[in-house]
Structure 1
């Protein structure tokens, strides 16, 4: 069965419902919810997407996420995706959203933050590698490694905000 998403405008207002593949193919903006994970030491989770993924295969990212289902909030989608991809349940906190025109199609990205304190059993079909990096380590590699464009942009905004100083 195909994945349905809400096609939204430049102000994130719903215009209709479309299949996600159609939204991507026809450059119709839709919603994505993603979470930046921190551990108790303040490190940030960095992952490499599986090489079998249809989008950004083998790219690095600092966010776990996916499409917001029809009628679903950004926060609910972020929590669901965190469980699906990392196998953990943790409260997510909405940080900000932005329209990202970079990448394979335009998306409204709702960025969240979660404190993860349990071991991670990631979905190996989606994540082939992960590690916890300090902010200093991450700043060194974010422009060297091939990152998902929306993830790189969200990380920069996150680190510039007070949210990047989670203790």
Structure 2
């Protein structure tokens, strides 16, 4: 079933509701929430998408996320995706948003951060593998493995945000 999402403008103002499929096909901006998950030691959760998923099967990702359905905030979407994909309840903190033009279509990406337990229970229909990497290890992995198109830009902006706010 195709989800309904809110079409937004460059300033993140809602213009209307459309199907996610239509947003992707027509290149309409819509909201997507992504959470960079860290453990208590500061390592980042990286995962490889299942071969069964429709978008970017088998590629690695820096965060956990998905489209915000109509009426859902970035934070609500991020929390829902964490529960669906990793089987955890957490309150991700919205750090920043930006217009991401890499991926299937342009979208406004809300980047969150959450400290999560090391013992996650990923949905095997969504996640084929996961592991914890330090920031330098993740930087190397981004060069050596096949990541989703937006992982590189997301990680770059995430590091810049953390640097500016530390």
> Considering the TM-score relative to the shorter chain, is it more than 0.5?
yes
Tell me the distance in 1 between the aligned counterparts of 2:160 and 2:16: 34
Displacement after TM superposition at 1:164 (Å)? 9.6
Displacement after TM superposition at 1:143 (Å)? 2.2
TM-score (normalised: structure 2): 0.94
Structure 2 portions without partners, runs of 5+: none
Displacement after TM superposition at 1:100 (Å)? 0.8
Displacement after TM superposition at 1:26 (Å)? 1.1
Tell me the distance in 2 between the aligned counterparts of 1:58 and 1:162: 29
**1:119 match:** 119
Tell me the distance in 2 between the aligned counterparts of 1:165 and 1:89: 26
Contact 1:158 1:164 in 2 (8 A): no
Displacement after TM superposition at 1:41 (Å)? 0.9
Displacement after TM superposition at 1:163 (Å)? 6.6
Q: Secondary structure at the match of 2:144?
A: coil
Displacement after TM superposition at 1:69 (Å)? 1.2
Tell me the distance in 2 between the aligned counterparts of 1:161 and 1:5: 27
**1:91 match:** 91
Alignment of 1:142 with 2:142, yes or no, is: yes
Tell me the distance in 2 between the aligned counterparts of 1:161 and 1:8: 23
Q: How many residues align?
A: 166
Q: Which runs of 4+ in 1 moved over 2 A?
A: 160-166
Tell me the distance in 2 between the aligned counterparts of 1:163 and 1:112: 15
Structure 1 portions without partners, runs of 5+: none
Relative to 1, partners in 2 of residues 1:32 and 1:58: Cα closer, same or farther, differing over 3 Å?
same
Tell me the distance in 2 between the aligned counterparts of 1:39 and 1:88: 13
Displacement after TM superposition at 1:108 (Å)? 0.5
> What RMSD, in angstroms, separates the aligned Cα atoms of the two structures?
1.7
